[in-house]
Structure 1
Amino acid sequence: MLSISMFSQQGKQKRADTLFNKFSFVKAAEVYRELIANNYNKDYATRKLADCYAFLRDPNNASRYYKNVVKQENVPIEYYYKYAQSLRGMKKYDESQEWLQRYKDSGGVVNANDFSKDINFITSVFGAKQQYFLDRVYFNSKYSDFGAFEQNGKVYFTSSRDEGVAVKRLYGWNEQPFLDIYVTDAKTKRNVDHSAKLKGDINSIYHDGPVTITKDGRTMYFSRNNFKDQIEVKDKKGLTNMKIYRVTLRDSIWKDVEDLSINGDEFSTQHAALNSDDTKLYFSSDRPGGHGGSDIWVVNINPDGTLTDLKNMGDVVNTESAEGFPFINNENTLFFSSDGHTGLGLLDIFGTIKGENDEIVDVINLGVPVNSNSDDFSFAMNQDGITGYFASNRKGGRGSDDIYAFHRVPSLEVEGVVTDAINTKPVPKAMIKLFDDKGNQIAYMETDENGFYQINIDRNKDYRIVASQNKYIDDYRDFTSKNLQTELTNINANLLLNPKPDVVKLADLNTTNLDYNSNITSQDSTGVKSAELNPIYFDFEKYNILKEYALELDKIVKLMTSDYPDMVIRIEAHTDSRGTHEYNDRLSTNRANSTYNYLISKGVNPSRIAEHKGYGERRLINECADGVSCDEAKHQLNRRTEFIVIKME
């Protein structure tokens, strides 16, 4: 039951992190609270729960948890900043300044306007650490490219590359012609030309795009200039507005273009987006009844395809300026562009925050590098919640508008299986402890019934993981999460436990008569024979075989060549804790080799020694670890070679 429970907690943490990455902070907070209550990876869960409350505009609860977070060993310094912001959100300005100074003293950088009293609280907390990172896109042109949307391994995007018209695309109700819709493989590493234009009745002689597609891939909504019978339809001001059209995939071709009921000749309707179950259509429009400029609107899609219940998204989202390019991720979180909300430059990309009743309560500026001092727009997130695209006309691009790919750094885990070194079976209920590079224990758990463990870790740190169980000698692994590819989400660290000398058992025994002195005994209760071959020991920093231990090796030679000619053993050599890990690994390997060579020189068939391996200082049999004062006799107990019988017939 404990193993099942532990596996359940691992699943909960993954679920919480996924919800958090998709801006579903209310649901994520519920799961993080459960993890804390169950004492599972508590420090990490507390940090994330505090962040959830911050993003939910709740500085009181955020401050309550950040107060515990900043007491954690080696907590990332951005939490000093977040705690300071939460205190400021509670108008505790003096305490806030103290923690801001702590952040600065720890190497943090603070912008001049970061602590003005009217700053958006959640945006400042969200911006405490870079959330997004840019990836290369190969299919930009020297013209305008935007509106990238990925589905089923394909990227659909809008471009003016065919005719070479490079004009600004955003909120331009009088845009120039020749935008078309293109499609290419998501993993393409080459540019695309006119041959990548989407086939069917979509691309016209006027502006077409961007697009969104239903989850079943059968229906597409796309923007296009208002025209009828190949003639542009103009409004009273002489402008050609935009409309959203619907088209169906038939025999691999997009056909039957349909003008939607939400469109009008006197206003623009564009930038279609669908919710997670394709029952709502979001779009931008400057139709009457808005807050000014263009607004984000939503309408229900009925089973028969009709559109009803048109609704403005309200003043939390919409301003007197321009909002557009809505996008809904698979957790039904709305993202959009705006030049009315406080941003870094012109148009910025924002995410929305939902409250307990699923209503939108605030917006978050996604920060750099998604946003810049130029126009940033057409944000789209992939199903994984950590990758996607947006467009920008910032400096350094290839054309007037360029598509940029992004990723959020996903959570990182160390995982592995703990195995019995003799019978190679998994070791359930082994205690796993995770330590930082200063020796501080930062997490622990038990292996499940399959010997499996999994612990969430931070990136760019050094760790040691230790496995222990009362019948075994501890094993550990040192590893690092530094300089890893961001796509990597787990590090594997398997551990191998050797039984302690008084419980080492022969595996796969078929014989019933063992009487080699007192070193081999029987277990009458199980009928399984057990054996203890005495270890040999070495002088400090030496690997030569001492005379007194050559006699012990000679006993093993007799056992293997005369008494039990089919016996197979494994040689495992070890060191004490003094010296570096690298030095001790080499020294133990030399000890294993010298032991192996001695046995072979005395007539033991090499095929009967399954393995000879050095383990350095990984498997100390007493308390004499680094930094512990021990006498020489205790240290010598660790400077040993052990002999494990793995087969005897």
Structure 2
Amino acid sequence: MNTKNYILVCMALLLSLSLFPQQRKQKRADTLFNKFSFVKAAKLYKELVQDNYNRNYATRKLADSYALLRDPRNASRYYKSAVKQKDVPVEYYYKYAQSLRGMKKYDESQIWLQRYKDSGGVVDTDDFSKDLNFITSVFGAKQQYFLDRVRFNSKYSDFGAFEHDGLVYFASSRDEGVAIKRLYGWDEQPFLDIYVTKAGSKRNVNHTAKLKGDINSIYHDGPVTITKDGKTMYFSRNNFKDDIELKDKNGLTNMKIYRATKVDSLWTNVEDLSINSDDYSTQHAALNVDETKLYFTSDRPGTHGGSDIWTADIASDGSLGNIQNLGDVVNTEKAEGFPFINNEGVLFFSSDGHTGLGLLDIYAAIKGEDEESIVDVINLGVPVNSNKDDFAFTMNQNGITGYFASNRQGGRGSDDIYAFHREPALHVEGVVTDAINTFPIVGAKITLFDDTNNQIAFMETDENGYFQINIDRNQDYKIIANQDKYIEDYREFTSKNLQTELTSVRANLLLNPVQDVVKLAEIDLNTIYFNFDSHVIRDDAEVQLNKIVSLMQNDYPEMVIRIESHTDSRGTLSYNDKLSIDRANSTYEYLISKGIDPSRITEHQGFGERKLTNGCEDGTKCEEEEHQLNRRTQFIVVKME
């Protein structure tokens, strides 16, 4: 490397060193936000705002963090800045209105609500005017969960679906097809048993799908949770011994959590856990991420309301200890139950004691700064919650799909299982590299634009030339990369019609060094043109190609070029892609036939109709002369010496 280049590289590295902490800080803040750790996320977003790094984006996320922490004063402060941003997403008008409402500034709130509606936003005004905590509407302003069909519901009670290793385990009172039915006196339905079916199965599930082994009894059994290795099951069951229900002093039969192990594909070795008692209920088992804690529902002594969520530590030998109540942030004077912890360590549960949409609603817990304590809860909003009972939420290992139960209208039975998929955060990512040596470019500025050329965000590449920016789904974008010593490059991409489980879109960019690029006019590398639907080199094109051969052989013996060929818009996209490749090949083969070393042509690519020089797109009326301008091959100088 010569001295000049060495100095330039060192300067670029020094400049980029100050950017790395900011890039990492934004990525860390986004990760914390997605894990409901809004306290820590807010701290990092605030630092990004103060450092003026990707300020608009950080301001919006800081406002969202405060809103989700039920802090309308600070949320309003930053939403006020956000709504002044050019081309801010319209949903922020709604969020600002809600934060103002949380501060009891009702008149001002209505002004921004009207602006939201005038900008095309849709809102249920009746729901907006209800005296609900403002956070519920803020969280639900952008739908994250979408319902999918479940085919194995019955006319009886079905709930507690838990997916493991391609199978769905659930509790149901559908005890049909048997000679003797035992009915539960509470609701005159058969007792619950645990059933299992293949995930995504369209077949009806009857009594033959009952879980094999020692789990199902003559009383209530279910729901279940299973360890990741598939060897241990925790499940709820009525308290009984020798087929006789054991009752407490009030004459009630309580629930217990039992543990079973899998032996030769059958569940057996059922164990009554030490946390159980004949005097109160213990049920709804759930495990934390590393399976060292058992979460459960109980009305044991110390319970705040009808039932609370508790935890117990699981020792390496399986024994349970250190039983703790989750506290009054989660537990209320009413009933909480059905805990579940996803792969991110987020607790979901049901409650009829927090502000909600109906009876039992499903909530997520907001983590504190230490990511262990819980500082608040969030109502998941519609369509997960309804004006009826919504409970038994579980999420699959992919973090995208899952199940919950509800007795809402439109179901098949008293309680039905609903499947969901959620749209996770999406980002564009890529690497910016040097077109000559393919090395990553440090500190390149990345600017993201929407389909109307409005700037959305920017950032700089890290030490690996890597960048990542959060984007919305169902949008068209353009991304531009530039750096002082390079010619800028851009890519157009879309986030439309992506599979739900995809969380990233790839957009790599290639930059040509400025010092190696000579204006085409100065070296007379003129564009050549083709006849319609042809890749044959025309006579006028031969004249230009011979000039290029002469320049490369006599005037610039070290020059390296790249060939790019194109078509007009007539014809199908796939046909034009092939035609442009044929034109690139014809051009390449002509130059090689005249003695140009193939190593001096780095690429010969076809771009079809994707890079028109004018507005002659499909459906546009253009003269033949205008279409001719698009049927071309261009030459890009990538190296001179």
**The two structures share one fold, judged by TM-score above 0.5:** yes
Match in the other structure for 1:555: 547
The change in CA–CA distance for 1:574 and 1:445 in structure 2 (over 3 A counts) is: farther
Secondary structure (helix, strand or coil) at the match of 2:57 reads helix
Does the alignment pair 1:534 with 2:524? yes
* Cα drift, residue 568 of structure 1: 8.7
The change in CA–CA distance for 1:469 and 1:619 in structure 2 (over 3 A counts) is: farther
Does the alignment pair 1:335 with 2:334? no
Q: Does the 8 A contact of 1:591 with 1:641 survive in 2?
A: no
Match in the other structure for 2:134: 121
Match in the other structure for 2:635: 642
The change in CA–CA distance for 1:159 and 1:40 in structure 2 (over 3 A counts) is: farther
Offset from partner CA, 1:533-589 (integer Å, 9 cap, x none):
6311579x99999999865533344578999999996433689xx999x99x989x8
Match in the other structure for 2:604: 611
Offset from partner CA, 1:521-540 (integer Å, 9 cap, x none):
xxxxxxxxxxx96311579x
Does the alignment pair 1:390 with 2:410? no
Secondary structure (helix, strand or coil) at the match of 2:419 reads strand
The change in CA–CA distance for 1:384 and 1:545 in structure 2 (over 3 A counts) is: closer
- Measure, in 2, the Cα distance between the counterparts of 1:601 and 1:124: 65
Match in the other structure for 1:511: none
* Cα drift, residue 217 of structure 1: 4.7
- Measure, in 2, the Cα distance between the counterparts of 1:470 and 1:573: 28
- Measure, in 2, the Cα distance between the counterparts of 1:600 and 1:331: 58
* Cα drift, residue 230 of structure 1: 1.9
Q: Does the 8 A contact of 1:433 with 1:467 survive in 2?
A: yes
Spell out the pairing of 1:217-366 with structure 2 (5 A cutoff).
217-235=230-248, 238-249=251-262, 253-287=266-300, 290-301=303-314, 305-308=318-321, 310-330=323-343, 332-355=345-368, 360-366=374-380
Q: Does the 8 A contact of 2:256 with 2:282 survive in 1?
A: yes
- Measure, in 2, the Cα distance between the counterparts of 1:159 and 1:7: 54
Q: Does the 8 A contact of 2:159 with 2:170 survive in 1?
A: yes
- Measure, in 2, the Cα distance between the counterparts of 1:4 and 1:183: 55
Q: Does the 8 A contact of 2:40 with 2:368 survive in 1?
A: no
Moved more, 434-443 or 553-562: 553-562
Within the candidate set 400, 412, 417, 2:426 is matched to 412
The two structures have a TM-score, normalised by structure 1, of 0.76
Does the alignment pair 1:104 with 2:94? no
Match in the other structure for 1:455: 469
The two structures have a TM-score, normalised by structure 2, of 0.77
Match in the other structure for 1:179: 192
The change in CA–CA distance for 1:228 and 1:37 in structure 2 (over 3 A counts) is: same
- Measure, in 2, the Cα distance between the counterparts of 1:458 and 1:375: 32
Within the candidate set 113, 119, 144, 1:131 is matched to 144
The change in CA–CA distance for 1:82 and 1:226 in structure 2 (over 3 A counts) is: same
- Measure, in 2, the Cα distance between the counterparts of 1:322 and 1:591: 67
Match in the other structure for 1:77: 90
Letter paired with 1:642? F
Runs (5+) with no aligned partner, structure 1: 166-170, 506-518, 520-531, 621-635
The change in CA–CA distance for 1:448 and 1:239 in structure 2 (over 3 A counts) is: closer
Q: Does the 8 A contact of 2:102 with 2:133 survive in 1?
A: no
* Cα drift, residue 147 of structure 1: 0.9
Within the candidate set 474, 495, 499, 2:488 is matched to 474
Q: Does the 8 A contact of 1:24 with 1:331 survive in 2?
A: no
Q: Does the 8 A contact of 2:348 with 2:364 survive in 1?
A: yes
- Measure, in 1, the Cα distance between the counterparts of 2:323 and 2:589: 86
Does the alignment pair 1:93 with 2:86? no
Within the candidate set 373, 386, 389, 2:387 is matched to 373
Indicate the percent of aligned positions where both proteins have the same amino acid. Answer: 70
Offset from partner CA, 1:37-76 (integer Å, 9 cap, x none):
5555443332222111112121121112212221222222
Q: Does the 8 A contact of 2:392 with 2:404 survive in 1?
A: yes
The change in CA–CA distance for 1:177 and 1:533 in structure 2 (over 3 A counts) is: same
* Cα drift, residue 312 of structure 1: 4.4
Letter paired with 2:498? L
* Cα drift, residue 90 of structure 1: 2.2
* Cα drift, residue 640 of structure 1: 8.2
Match in the other structure for 1:446: 460
Within the candidate set 485, 504, 507, 1:493 is matched to 507
The change in CA–CA distance for 1:560 and 1:64 in structure 2 (over 3 A counts) is: closer
Within the candidate set 556, 559, 564, 1:572 is matched to 564
Within the candidate set 155, 163, 180, 2:176 is matched to 163
The change in CA–CA distance for 1:294 and 1:163 in structure 2 (over 3 A counts) is: farther
Match in the other structure for 1:631: none
- Measure, in 2, the Cα distance between the counterparts of 1:262 and 1:598: 77
The change in CA–CA distance for 1:162 and 1:503 in structure 2 (over 3 A counts) is: same
Offset from partner CA, 1:232-275 (integer Å, 9 cap, x none):
22345554332222234456543332223443334432212233
Match in the other structure for 1:430: 444
The change in CA–CA distance for 1:267 and 1:139 in structure 2 (over 3 A counts) is: same
- Measure, in 2, the Cα distance between the counterparts of 1:60 and 1:562: 72
Secondary structure (helix, strand or coil) at the match of 1:133 reads strand
- Measure, in 1, the Cα distance between the counterparts of 2:391 and 2:118: 36
Q: Does the 8 A contact of 1:3 with 1:449 survive in 2?
A: yes
Secondary structure (helix, strand or coil) at the match of 1:536 reads coil
Q: Does the 8 A contact of 2:295 with 2:312 survive in 1?
A: yes
The change in CA–CA distance for 1:390 and 1:237 in structure 2 (over 3 A counts) is: same
Match in the other structure for 1:512: none
Q: Does the 8 A contact of 1:225 with 1:242 survive in 2?
A: yes
Offset from partner CA, 1:607-635 (integer Å, 9 cap, x none):
95762546989699xxxxxxxxxxxxxxx
Offset from partner CA, 1:354-406 (integer Å, 9 cap, x none):
55576544433211110123321101234555443211233344444332222
The change in CA–CA distance for 1:354 and 1:645 in structure 2 (over 3 A counts) is: closer
Spell out the pairing of 1:197-216 with structure 2 (5 A cutoff).
197-214=210-227
Secondary structure (helix, strand or coil) at the match of 1:65 reads helix
Moved more, 59-68 or 181-190: 181-190
Does the alignment pair 1:32 with 2:45? yes
Secondary structure (helix, strand or coil) at the match of 1:100 reads helix
RMSD between aligned residues: 4.8
Q: Does the 8 A contact of 2:580 with 2:608 survive in 1?
A: no
Q: Does the 8 A contact of 1:557 with 1:602 survive in 2?
A: no
Across the two proteins, how many residue pairs are aligned to each other?
A: 597
- Measure, in 2, the Cα distance between the counterparts of 1:613 and 1:501: 26
Runs (5+) with no aligned partner, structure 2: 1-12, 179-183, 614-628
Letter paired with 2:503? T
Q: Does the 8 A contact of 1:572 with 1:592 survive in 2?
A: no
- Measure, in 2, the Cα distance between the counterparts of 1:490 and 1:615: 26
Does the alignment pair 1:57 with 2:50? no
